[in-house]
Every structure is written in C-alpha cells, then in structure tokens.
Structure 1
Amino acid sequence: MERSSRSRPPATLASLAAEVGVSRTTVSNAYNRPDQLSPALRARVMEAAARLGYPGPDPVARSLRTRKAGAIGLLLTEQLSYAFRDPAAVAFLEGLTLECDSAKVGLLLVPARPDSDDVTAVAGASVDGFVAYSMPDDDPHLRAVLARPVPAVICDQPAVPGTDLVGIDDHAAARGLADHLVELGHRRIGVVCMRLGRARRDGAVDLVRQQAAHYHVQRNRLAGLREGFTAAGVAWDRVPVVEQFDHSVESGARGAAAVLAMDPGITALIATSDVLAMGAIDELHRRRQRVPEDVSVSGFDGIRAAREMQLTTVVQPVEDKGRYAGRLLLDPARSTRGRKVVLPTTFLAGQTTAPPRVR
C-alpha cells in the first residue's frame, strides 16, 4: 500500500485559535497587543503556536489592514556601508535607532548614491516616513521622498520650506574657528572641504563653485571661514580650497597634498571634517612637517577619534541630531510642518593649532 506523502497543512491564525479554543482576535492580541491578555492565556497561545509551527501574523497582510509599515526609512547619499564606517553617521544612526526603539518601529536604510538617478529604492520603500540625512539640494532621491505622501525630516541639509529640519549653525561655527586661527596670527591658510556637488570631482575650487555648492553644509562652512578671514584682511580668492568627493582619511591626505602643492608656505590647514583633518595630519607627518609647530590643523565634527588625538575642532551633537530627527518624525501629535531644530556646537581648542612660527 502506498504511503501518503502529504504532510499536515501549515497552521493559520484560525486553526491556532481553534486549537486553543479562543477567538482569532485573542490570538492576534497575543502577538500585537499582549497587554490585552492575562500572562497565563498569552503563554498558552504562544505554546500552542510553537507546537503547531505557527509563524505569527502575516506582516504584509497586517500592513495592508492598518496602512502602517511599522518602520521608517533613512535616506543616505552613500553606499549603505557608509552608515557603519563614517564616525558621524554612526553616531547619528545610534541616536535615531534609540528613538525607533522607544517607539517600537523598525528602521530601513535606503541607499541614494550621489552619482545615481535611480529612485526605485525610495519609491518602493515600505515605510511610514523618511529621515533624509545630509542631502544636496538637487538630489532626485530627495525629490522622490518629498513626493511620497508620508512625513519627512531632513537632517543638516537642505532646508526645504514646509519640511522639518534638524541641524546646526554651520556658518557661525566655522566663523568661530576662523576667528580662533586669526587670533593666533594665521593669515596664510589652506582648506580641504568635503564634496560640493553630486558629480565626482576632486581638486581646487574657485569662489563661484563654493558659493554655488549644492551641499549647504559645506557652502555655509566655507562662507563662515571666508567671512572670518576676509575681516582679518585675507584675500579669500588667493586661499587654496580643495574639494574631495570621498569622505575618508585617505582623501584628507590627498587634499592636503593638493593644497600644499598650490601653496607650500601655508601656516594653517583647515578641514571641514575631522576625518579629512586626520588625513591632512598624516600627509604633513609624511612630509616631516610638525603639527602644530610647522602647520596648524583644525577639523569639524568632534568625533571621538579626533577628541582623543586632541584635534582643534568644532564639536557638534551628532547623536542628538539623530534623536531629534526621530522625535520629530515619530511625534504622534504631529500637526505642524516646517519645524526647525538648531542644536548648539562647542569650539574645542586642542593641541593641533598654535601661533605660526617665525620663518
């Protein structure tokens, strides 16, 4: 006699309810609203589910029913690995995930490479809202986010009317850094900045490109530096400013080399991020130049590695940025749009800046 190859059909919410002798609503509450059941009843439902192999309610069906995905999307203008490599991005992600944990929602990382116009990932993301992290103002992914009928919060850049924003006053912070170097006596300086546009580009940038930068954070930091040094009588159009597309220590070293090629006699080198500043210091050491005795170096961000090496920098509360972005997006009483949270920064005078030596 041939043996039957059929196995028991998979358990469903209805079959589990029948097995336990309760309603389907009770089974659903055991997973989604456990506070509605006594601990003993919920334990009985979960034990039967494990015995029957019931995997739990279908999340797709639940999202269709509730019109909620139970997750928010984080839009990054980088490869996804950037969120786990870049120190500032890691701190921001930590703050955002803390808010997600409190609200019991998930987080979906959505890649938005600056050199790509494919917005499929944004259009197809099953999320209840977006946090856009440091985007250029002409990015198609950002336009796709703002076109979705879900709330959005922008962190750092750009400022979009009617959309919530969390950031700092980059112009004022950079002006304070410039004033520090001016007070020390520096007039012959160079700058290494992060990318100013979506197209891959490394090298010297003139004033026109600086003022037209699509990344507002870099544009404002350069404007703050320009304002401070111009007030001290420095002709900004003679200051070598070098842009680096990739944000890495290696890029900082290459940028410093390019600045020194343009003016080997600079007494101070300013980087618009700590990561670039650390690379600049590596390049100066490779050239047997001392920091700060031969060349002063400053950064921006206040990441842990920079503070540990006592880099002169501007410390910004990156983790708090993530937390505030999450709070604005997940605010259950959200009734207004266009809110703006400006967080304070702290200037940190480290051991990498000093008065220029007499040549």
Structure 2
Amino acid sequence: MTKNIKKLTLKDVADRLKVSTATISNAFNRPDQLSAILRENILSECEKMGYFGPNAAARSLRTGRTGIVGVVLSVDLSYSLTDPVANQFLKGMAEVFEVNEYNMLLLSSDQVEQDALSRMQSSMVDGFIIYGHKPQQCINAPWLMPNKNIITVDSFLPGTTSVNIENHSGAYTIACHALTHKPKNIVILGLCLLDTDRVCRVREDELYDRAASISIQRLYGYFEALKEHEVSISSEHIWNIPENNHKLAYQAAREALTMAQRPQLLLCMSDCIAIAAVQAALHMGLRVPEDLHVVGFDGIAESANIHPSITTIHQQTVEKGRVAAEVFLGLREAKDVVLETELIIRESCPSFIEPALV
C-alpha cells in the first residue's frame, strides 16, 4: 500500500506515538537528546508510517522560511548561559521554538560586529530577537536588516516590537516598601547606568537615555518613590556596576558601606547585586536587616535560598521568553508587551510594623 507521506505532519506522528513533537524532532535532528533504544524505536515506527523526518530544506523552499531565529545577546555567550535571568529567558524561548520546530542561533553582539552581514547571510535566519541591549549597541547594528522580523526584549528600538517588564513601577513599588522603615542614609547600587566598564559613582549628565535603558527606568522608579517620601539623594550615593556579577557588586557594596555616613538602605538593581551586598555587609560585621536593609530586583531562585533571604521584585523571566518567541512566530499579535512584576517581601527588608503605643 502506498503511504501518502505529504499528509503526515510532525504533530500527527507525535500523536500516534504518544510522545511530544520535540521528542520526534530530536530523534531525527538531535540524537544525543534521546536514549539509543528510544530513538531506534521512534525511527522504526516512523518508517512504518512512511514518515522520514522534518525536512528543513524542503520547508524552506515551500514557506520561504529557514526555521532559524537569531538570538542576539548583549554580552558574551558564556555569561548569558550562566546568568540566572538570561538563562531563564532562553529557557522560555526554547520551550516555544522546540514545539514549533524552530532552532535558535545564539550570537553575542561582539560576534555579530566582527562578522557583520556575511555571518547574517550565511546563517539564513528568518529574523532576530535582540535581548538586553544597551543603547550604544544599537547604533548601526548589522542585525538591523530590511525585511527581517526583529523583536527587542529588555530594550527599546524604534520600529520594532518589544517585550519588556514593568521596570519603572517595579522599582517604585519596592523603594516605597523599603522607605517605610525611614532609613537615614540611602544608596542605590545601579546596573549598567553608564557607558563604562568601571565600578564608580554616577554623574547625572553621564546617564544613558531614559527611554532606551531598563536600568534608567528602574533608577527613575526609585527617584519617584524618594520624591514622594520627601527624601533626597545625591549622585554621590549612586553607584554604577558595569556587569551583573558578584565580584563587581561586592566591590561597590563595600565602597558604599564604608562611607562616613553609612547607609541604612541599599536599593539594588538586581538580586545578584543584592546577594553580594548582603554578603559584604555580613563580612563587615553588620546585621541584615537590623543594621541595614537590602532590596533586589528579578526574583531569581537564589534570592529565596540564602539567609537572610532577599526582598525583591519578581519578574516573569521564563514567560518573557515565551512571549518573545510567540510574537516572533506570529502566535501573538505584533504589538509591544509589558509584563507585570510582583513585590516579594523577605528577610532582608521585612514589612514595617508600627511600634506599639505605650
């Protein structure tokens, strides 16, 4: 009997074999992801059905698509794969792209700049998801190509669809919570506020454009809360940390905590910074939260697992990846998306309790 191969889709085969479409795809394209026995069984059953695997070349000719999306990361790949926020974002995208038989080509900005258009053309991507770019990385960027689908995430680029979180309101909310304790001195440990690779204090005329940087949005969220609580803060109390890593954050925290007027509150723009700040404080003999309140941003798993645990703003990192992938594939309307955040109160800055009247 002649089998009608054209009528069989990846989903049809997955349904018949009662496995996921990703498992069928892996059997043909990524054998290292399956046991030898499982792969052999799947291929044998597929052969009996007359299904010989997803053919990327044929699909490209038929649809005009390659089934590849270029994911352009703002930093090097090794950092992105270990950073707790970036890797959860990549996880969310991978979940959607695998089901829809799409592959991700991971590129860092440095890689793209080195090889520019030749790399883009040879990779034959259908478009790009641009993740976490700073404003200066978008100037004359080689991935801004005509007739390419471009989605920006954790950044803003005119003419593209963006997926972001409530950075300003999230920062405002957590700052308002922390300010209920009426701290006398406040320091902001900022992330990527300036175009520099140094840990340093900030001058306002050096800041990135507010509309282009999520860090600046968080900074102005803090400013709004401070103004509402009639608290002023000078640029001498704002630090720039050029990269979201423990060593640089620890350095900035120690510098802040050795000021003549030691701060009683550290507003940290990431949980990684907050964790480093807590450790620096403890190493200096300070108690958290008795001597110092610390708040973070992101809601990474580590923030809940250390002691004292970190009061933070939880962002939907995995969901952000899913949404970006769905917008790219046309499974969602091509319009800007802003995901909600949530205040998570923990030990490093607990809820304020009014003292009992005597």
Question: Given the two structures, how large is their TM-score scaled by the length of structure 1?
Answer: 0.78
Amino acid of the structure 1 residue aligned with 2:245: S
Q: 1:177 aligns with which of 146, 168, 174?
A: 174
Q: Which residue of 2 aligns with 1:85?
A: 82
Which range moved further: 124-133 or 82-91?
A: 124-133
Q: Which residue of 1 aligns with 2:123?
A: 125
What is the DSSP-based 3-state SS (H/G/I as helix, E as strand, rest coil) of the residue aligned with 1:179? Answer: helix
The question of whether the paired residues in 2 share the 8 Å contact of 1:187 and 1:234 is answered with: no
Amino acid of the structure 1 residue aligned with 2:126: D
The question of whether the paired residues in 2 share the 8 Å contact of 1:196 and 1:214 is answered with: no
State how 1:154-165 maps to structure 2 within 5 Å: 154-158=152-156, 160-165=157-162
Aligned sequence identity (%): 25
What is the DSSP-based 3-state SS (H/G/I as helix, E as strand, rest coil) of the residue aligned with 1:138? Answer: helix
Q: Which residue of 2 aligns with 1:151?
A: 149
State how 1:1-359 maps to structure 2 within 5 Å: 43=47, 63=60, 66-113=63-110, 119-120=116-117, 121-122=119-120, 124-140=122-138, 143-158=141-156, 160-210=157-207, 212=209, 216-237=213-234, 240-309=237-306, 310-331=309-330, 337=334, 339-353=335-349
Which range moved further: 66-75 or 98-107?
A: 66-75
What is the DSSP-based 3-state SS (H/G/I as helix, E as strand, rest coil) of the residue aligned with 2:71? Answer: strand
Question: Given the two structures, how large is their TM-score scaled by the length of structure 2?
Answer: 0.78
**Deviation at 1:111?**
1.0
What is the DSSP-based 3-state SS (H/G/I as helix, E as strand, rest coil) of the residue aligned with 1:145? Answer: coil
The question of whether the paired residues in 2 share the 8 Å contact of 1:110 and 1:122 is answered with: no
The question of whether the paired residues in 1 share the 8 Å contact of 2:211 and 2:217 is answered with: no
Which range moved further: 174-183 or 312-321?
A: 174-183
What is the DSSP-based 3-state SS (H/G/I as helix, E as strand, rest coil) of the residue aligned with 2:218? Answer: helix
* Counterparts in 2 of 1:72 and 1:114: CA distance versus 1, 3 Å: closer
CA deviations on 1:90-141 (whole Å, 9 max, x unpaired) are: 1111111111022111111111149967635456432112111111223147
What is the DSSP-based 3-state SS (H/G/I as helix, E as strand, rest coil) of the residue aligned with 1:143? Answer: coil
The question of whether the paired residues in 2 share the 8 Å contact of 1:114 and 1:139 is answered with: no
How far apart, CA to CA, are the structure 1 residues paired with 2:297 and 2:166? 12
* Counterparts in 2 of 1:251 and 1:217: CA distance versus 1, 3 Å: same
Q: Which residue of 2 aligns with 1:17?
A: none
Q: Which residue of 1 aligns with 2:37?
A: none
What is the DSSP-based 3-state SS (H/G/I as helix, E as strand, rest coil) of the residue aligned with 1:98? Answer: helix
Amino acid of the structure 1 residue aligned with 2:314: V
Amino acid of the structure 1 residue aligned with 2:337: V
Q: Which residue of 2 aligns with 1:4?
A: none
* Counterparts in 2 of 1:205 and 1:32: CA distance versus 1, 3 Å: same
Amino acid of the structure 1 residue aligned with 2:106: L
How far apart, CA to CA, are the structure 2 residues paired with 1:142 and 1:175? 33
What is the DSSP-based 3-state SS (H/G/I as helix, E as strand, rest coil) of the residue aligned with 2:90? Answer: helix
How far apart, CA to CA, are the structure 2 residues paired with 1:325 and 1:83? 17
What is the DSSP-based 3-state SS (H/G/I as helix, E as strand, rest coil) of the residue aligned with 1:146? Answer: coil
User: Structure 2: any 5+ residue segments left out of the alignment?
Assistant: 18-43, 353-358
How far apart, CA to CA, are the structure 1 residues paired with 2:62 and 2:277? 55
What is the DSSP-based 3-state SS (H/G/I as helix, E as strand, rest coil) of the residue aligned with 1:220? Answer: helix
How far apart, CA to CA, are the structure 2 residues paired with 1:231 and 1:92? 33
CA deviations on 1:241-274 (whole Å, 9 max, x unpaired) are: 1111121111210111222344551101111000
How far apart, CA to CA, are the structure 1 residues paired with 2:211 and 2:267? 21
Which range moved further: 72-81 or 226-235?
A: 226-235
How far apart, CA to CA, are the structure 2 residues paired with 1:250 and 1:175? 27
- State which structure, 1 or 2, has the greater radius of gyration over its C-alpha atoms: 1
* Counterparts in 2 of 1:146 and 1:268: CA distance versus 1, 3 Å: same
How far apart, CA to CA, are the structure 2 residues paired with 1:187 and 1:238? 16
Amino acid of the structure 2 residue aligned with 1:137: P
How far apart, CA to CA, are the structure 1 residues paired with 2:270 and 2:296? 5
**Deviation at 1:154?**
1.1
The question of whether the paired residues in 2 share the 8 Å contact of 1:133 and 1:154 is answered with: yes
How far apart, CA to CA, are the structure 2 residues paired with 1:278 and 1:250? 11
The question of whether the paired residues in 2 share the 8 Å contact of 1:204 and 1:241 is answered with: yes
What is the DSSP-based 3-state SS (H/G/I as helix, E as strand, rest coil) of the residue aligned with 1:78? Answer: coil
How far apart, CA to CA, are the structure 1 residues paired with 2:294 and 2:180? 15
The question of whether the paired residues in 2 share the 8 Å contact of 1:94 and 1:319 is answered with: yes
* Counterparts in 2 of 1:29 and 1:142: CA distance versus 1, 3 Å: farther
| Residues paired across the two proteins, number | 321
**Deviation at 1:187?**
3.6
**Deviation at 1:200?**
2.1
* Counterparts in 2 of 1:227 and 1:122: CA distance versus 1, 3 Å: farther
Amino acid of the structure 2 residue aligned with 1:250: K
* Counterparts in 2 of 1:251 and 1:118: CA distance versus 1, 3 Å: farther
* Counterparts in 2 of 1:196 and 1:139: CA distance versus 1, 3 Å: same
User: Structure 1: any 5+ residue segments left out of the alignment?
Assistant: 1-20, 50-55
**Deviation at 1:87?**
0.5
**Deviation at 1:197?**
4.4
How far apart, CA to CA, are the structure 2 residues paired with 1:140 and 1:186? 39
**Deviation at 1:142?**
7.8
